[in-house]
Structure 1
Amino acid sequence: MIHYNSEESINISSDLATMEIPKLILSLAIPAIIAQMVNALYNVVDRIYISRIPEIGDMALTGVGVCFPILILISAFAQLVGVGGATLAAIEMGKKDIKKAEKMLGNGLTILLIISVVLTFFFQVVKYPVLMLFGASSSTISYGIEYLSTYLWGTLFVEITLGLNQFITCQGKSKIAMISILIGAGLNVVLDPLFIFALNMGVQGAATATIISQAVSAIWIIRFLLSNKSMINIHKKDLILRKEIVVAIMALGISSFIMSFTECVIHTVFNSGLQKYGGDYYVASMTIIQSIMQLVYIFSNGITQGVQPVISFNYGAKQVSRVRSAYRIGFISHITVAWVSCMVLMFFPHFFGSIFTNNEDILDIVTKMLPIYICGWGIFGIQSAVQCTFVGLGQAKISLFLACLRKILLLVPLALILPHYLGSLGIFIAEPVSDILAALTAGVIFKIRINSILEK
């Protein structure tokens, strides 16, 4: 296998060090946004097709919806390793230490393999009680079991695709990272109707299509990271776990993990609460709202993937002025996208809900509740920008606190308390209240800490 030596790698990464910051971020963010948009198709397309299955569509959609916390948890572990390892690798590349960056990659791959095996067999064993806990009912549990039983066998492919693709992005190769996602998601769009309708496999067909698609993406990513086109390569010697590297990856990636993992907790609290105070239609409406929010996250996550490698690389290279330029553009972009998304969804809730269902009862709930659910998102762009900056700077403790603040300290308690007084409405109100409080807190912390961090 041919791979780059240190000097060649440094020359290849010169764009991260020398290109004008706005142009650089744009070149990274646009492919990342496209990749995020296509990646969201995995779950969104599944749900659109499932909701159209004759006679059972609405109940099947609800059954698959209660699987969503587990899918989020699987993705959260990929974020734990991918964000933590790739950010550290970018910082080391900025320091011109390619060998250490490759150690981050190798250890990251080993961690992902171990996590995949554990998650697969754990959830295969406990899937029934877990799905009931997540809000399934006697009418919907069979669809959830059918979907999850198949999907779990593809956990390895999900972990590799979402985790290792970050190591491509951190090199500034966002177009390659985009192609990695496009290949799988495009295949999924083609295979879904084939397995669901043509082969009459229903929700099991949707899961099968996803597994095959993720497997193709995973193979593509591994091949790239083994090739001489990658600035950092996978080596057998780097697969051996080293305690200091594992701890460093986990410490920095934990904030991204918690942000994703707490989505699992939130979905559990939301679905169980809505099942109690509203019933299956309210659970279905939340599934649709959260599917719509995935489309919003596309732009936020894409901006983060465009800004964060620039911050990390130049922080490692001690180019403070470029770091400041990068996070300022990040702030403007995150806040603008948040406001635009907020306005669009508040004014056109029925249109977005109708993408997922024709059931007027469910659509009525979505139309009433989506504007309430989204109304705090405009200001939440501040937290997205702050979190992106602190993770890019390798600030594990601050990132961890901000990740815990919004969901664990604010959203979960509010979602448990407010329904006692407001019924199902309280669950939808909990979201904007936590968004606003978390964003304001993040902004204050950033103002206090950023100069001292960069001066070091």
Structure 2
Amino acid sequence: MAKKNAKELGQKPIGKLLLEQSVPASIGVLIMSLNIMVDTIFVGNWIGPTAIAAINVVLPVSFFIAALGMAIGVGGASIISRALGANNYEKALKTFGNQIGLTLLLCVSLAGLGLIYTDSLIPAFGGKGEIFDFAKTYYQIVLYGVPILGLVMMGNSSIRAEGKPKFAMIAMVIPSVGNLLADYILIYVLDWGMAGAAWATTGSYIVSFLFILWFFSSKNSELKLTWKHFGLEKQIVKEIGSLGFVTLSRQAVVSITYLLLNNILFELGGAPSVTVYAIVARMLMFVLFPILGITQGFLPIAGYNYGANQPQRVRKSINLAIGSASLLALGIFSIIMIFPEQIASVFTQDPTILKETPAAMRWVFAALPIISLQLIGSAYFQAIGKAIPALLLTLSRQGFFFIPLVLVLPNYYGLWGVWISFPLADLISTLVTGWVLKREVQLNLKQA
């Protein structure tokens, strides 16, 4: 039965498949994004606006370590999807075993280093002045759970590679709901402050991990491992690394972006400007949920059908994914442009932050309707195992365009130079991705 589910990726109509894969993925991303956003609302209203800035300082460090698990998961999932499409189940099992070993080795090592160098890393990421003590409290507790989060991110990608999006969705929903309940108890009821917020987050990682462990131990998964599958195999590790490096590089650039922005904004406007960025960043995570859900749903469909040598189905999946994601993005864009003041007031009542946030939000989201092409276009190359174009396109938006812009424009335009860098980078990277994707489809996905 499990194998039949995987084979359906190459048999069912693309529209139905994309709906089946994307809706659970979108719900999972939505719940996770709501968790992050509501967590920020709780922290802002129950602890204070400086606490929001403190969490924003910690995120790039914890996210980068957790991104190792995500990178290994996404890289391995591409191999697993294509292996299942080619009926090579032994390779799928070996890949999964190697994913687990690599995730544990790398995430535990980096989390340990992160804890050793706490006092150096926090200021480097913008945790200065009044932000430092809040950030240190949150950082130390959250980092204990980051290796577990790495395993969760890795396992979630592997579940989706099997064609089981509903279980992947549940794995994201459970910790999100648990985190919010724990926030209420630990922050509001017990008044643990930043420590309560941190323990709520770490506990949620553990709950999600236990569910994923249950999934792979049950009959729902076809990836049934034996000890022989855990031995690292050079060729598989290399392939996981080359494809996963795309995701890891993207997260590394995200961490660098946070580092730069936290420091630039602190110099230009102090802690309030860092808080404004934290609010906008949470909204960015939240509003992208349908686009990211469609992208995640698209990945196993494209990978499986590419492995099964069905180019027409791959082409159709690309067109449907980009078209549907763009329509949804347009609707979300309209809401943000009309109601930025109301959105900002949900997070805090601080007058300085309420004054700065709406204009920043409008500029940051100005190119939202077109970025679906960039996200799905770069994800396509990862799905089919072409690491180099996937890497370059993934890095283009923030690495090649945004970082240079944000280093230059604030020197001339101050805070406005920071915010205008976002839509400019989105526009340029989307044009580049569109050209590369069109060329790839014309050359390698010819109609029969």
Q: State TM-score, norm by structure 1.
A: 0.95
Q: In structure 2, which of residues 26, 29, 32 is the aligned counterpart of residue 36 of structure 1? A: 29
Q: Which runs of 5+ in 2 are unaligned?
A: none
Q: Relative to structure 2, which stretch is displaced further, 227-236 or 443-452?
A: 227-236
Q: What amino acid sits opposite 1:75 in the alignment? A: A
SS of the counterpart of 2:117? helix
The separation in 2 between residues aligned to 1:157 and 1:212, in whole angstroms, is 10
Q: In structure 1, which of residues 38, 43, 65 is the aligned counterpart of residue 56 of structure 2? A: 65
Which residue of structure 2 aligns with residue 436 of structure 1? 427
CA shift at 1:340, angstroms? 2.3
CA shift at 1:9, angstroms? 4.6
The separation in 1 between residues aligned to 2:359 and 2:4, in whole angstroms, is 54
Which residue of structure 2 aligns with residue 352 of structure 1? 343
Matched, 1:334 2:322: no
Q: What amino acid sits opposite 1:275 in the alignment? A: F
SS of the counterpart of 2:163? coil
Equivalent pair of 2:175/2:207 in contact (CA under 8 Å): yes
CA shift at 1:92, angstroms? 0.2
Q: In structure 2, which of residues 381, 406, 424 is the aligned counterpart of residue 390 of structure 1? A: 381
CA shift at 1:185, angstroms? 1.2
CA shift at 1:360, angstroms? 1.8
Q: In structure 1, which of residues 315, 320, 330 is the aligned counterpart of residue 306 of structure 2? A: 315
Matched, 1:129 2:120: yes
SS of the counterpart of 1:232? coil
Identity of aligned residues (%): 28
Equivalent pair of 1:76/1:258 in contact (CA under 8 Å): no
Which residue of structure 1 aligns with residue 240 of structure 2? 249
Which residue of structure 1 aligns with residue 183 of structure 2? 192
Which residue of structure 2 aligns with residue 452 of structure 1? 443
CA shift at 1:43, angstroms? 2.6
Structure 2 matches for 1:3-402, cutoff 5 A? 9-53=2-46, 56-402=47-393
SS of the counterpart of 1:12? helix
Q: What amino acid sits opposite 1:80 in the alignment? A: A
Equivalent pair of 1:310/1:326 in contact (CA under 8 Å): yes
The separation in 2 between residues aligned to 1:99 and 1:126, in whole angstroms, is 41
Q: State TM-score, norm by structure 2.
A: 0.96
Q: Relative to structure 2, which stretch is displaced further, 344-353 or 187-196?
A: 344-353
The separation in 2 between residues aligned to 1:46 and 1:115, in whole angstroms, is 28
SS of the counterpart of 2:126? coil
Equivalent pair of 1:336/1:381 in contact (CA under 8 Å): no
Q: What amino acid sits opposite 1:40 in the alignment? A: S
State the Cα deviation string for residues 212-264 of structure 1 (Å, max 9, x = none): 11111101112211222202223322111111111101111222222222111
SS of the counterpart of 2:347? coil
Q: 1:46 to 1:74 in 2, by over 3 A?
A: farther
Q: What amino acid sits opposite 2:155 in the alignment? A: L
Q: What amino acid sits opposite 1:445 in the alignment? A: V
CA shift at 1:424, angstroms? 1.5
SS of the counterpart of 1:375? coil
Equivalent pair of 1:80/1:253 in contact (CA under 8 Å): yes
The separation in 2 between residues aligned to 1:327 and 1:138, in whole angstroms, is 48
Structure 2 matches for 1:403-414, cutoff 5 A? 403-414=394-405
Equivalent pair of 2:315/2:441 in contact (CA under 8 Å): no
The separation in 2 between residues aligned to 1:235 and 1:144, in whole angstroms, is 42
The separation in 2 between residues aligned to 1:412 and 1:67, in whole angstroms, is 20
How well do the aligned residues superpose, as a CA RMSD in angstroms?
1.5
CA shift at 1:292, angstroms? 0.4
Equivalent pair of 2:103/2:150 in contact (CA under 8 Å): yes
Equivalent pair of 1:226/1:234 in contact (CA under 8 Å): no
CA shift at 1:12, angstroms? 3.1
Equivalent pair of 1:402/1:442 in contact (CA under 8 Å): yes
State the Cα deviation string for residues 48-83 of structure 1 (Å, max 9, x = none): 111122xx5111222222112113213321221111
Equivalent pair of 1:347/1:371 in contact (CA under 8 Å): no
CA shift at 1:346, angstroms? 1.8
The separation in 2 between residues aligned to 1:312 and 1:95, in whole angstroms, is 11
Q: Which runs of 4+ in 1 moved over 6 A?
A: none
The separation in 2 between residues aligned to 1:340 and 1:128, in whole angstroms, is 43
Q: Which runs of 5+ in 1 are unaligned?
A: 1-7
The separation in 1 between residues aligned to 2:381 and 2:439, in whole angstroms, is 13
CA shift at 1:339, angstroms? 2.3
Q: What amino acid sits opposite 1:221 in the alignment? A: I
